[in-house]
Amino acid sequence: MEGSCHCNSVHFKFSGQIRAIVNCHCNLCRKMNGSAFSTYVAVPAQSFELTSGTLKTVKVSEHASKSFCTNCGTPIYNQNPRLGDLKIVYLGTLDNAAKLTPAINIFCESQLIWVTQLASLPRFEQGVN
């Protein structure tokens, strides 16, 4: 499985078994990503290989870190040793993101209430003027 960042300088791949695909609704993920919630694919760290580009890693909590493209800022993965030796890869960076479906929602105690109603909002194939 392969992925890349927005500016195309970071490329990575991994071959290991996907451990989980989750939507995380926690306040830390919401704040550090600026999004309502974040969708992640957890893979064994040893199977993850950065094939081009440069990542910067910042500490985001006592245990967790976030790694992103130094050129465009696209988040690539998080790590938290307390969760095991995993790369918590951002689903949106993967080439086959459309084929990966989250299995669970976590930290729903912090979920924004309107997230449960997304499917009922008016839909447009592209933006509106």
Q: Write down the least CB distance from residue 96 to Zn ion, Å.
A: 19
Contact predicate 65/79, CB 8 Å:
yes
Applying CB under 5 A, which part among 43-51, 57-65, 68-76, 87-95 lies near Zn ion?
68-76
Site for Zn ion in 26-65 (CB under 5 A): 26, 29
User: Quick one: how far is CA 39 from the chain centroid?
Assistant: 5
Quick check: 9 binds Zn ion (CB under 5 A)?
A: yes
Helix, strand, or coil (residue 60): coil
Q: Write down the least CB distance from residue 69 to Zn ion, Å.
A: 3
Contact predicate 28/81, CB 8 Å:
no
Residues in Cβ contact with 4 at an 8 Å cutoff, skipping those fewer than 6 apart: 10, 11, 12, 93, 95
Instruction: Compare residues 71 and 105 and give the one whose CB is closer to Zn ion.
Output: 71
Query: Which residues bind to Zn ion, rule: CB under 5 A?
Result: 5, 7, 9, 24, 26, 29, 69, 71-72
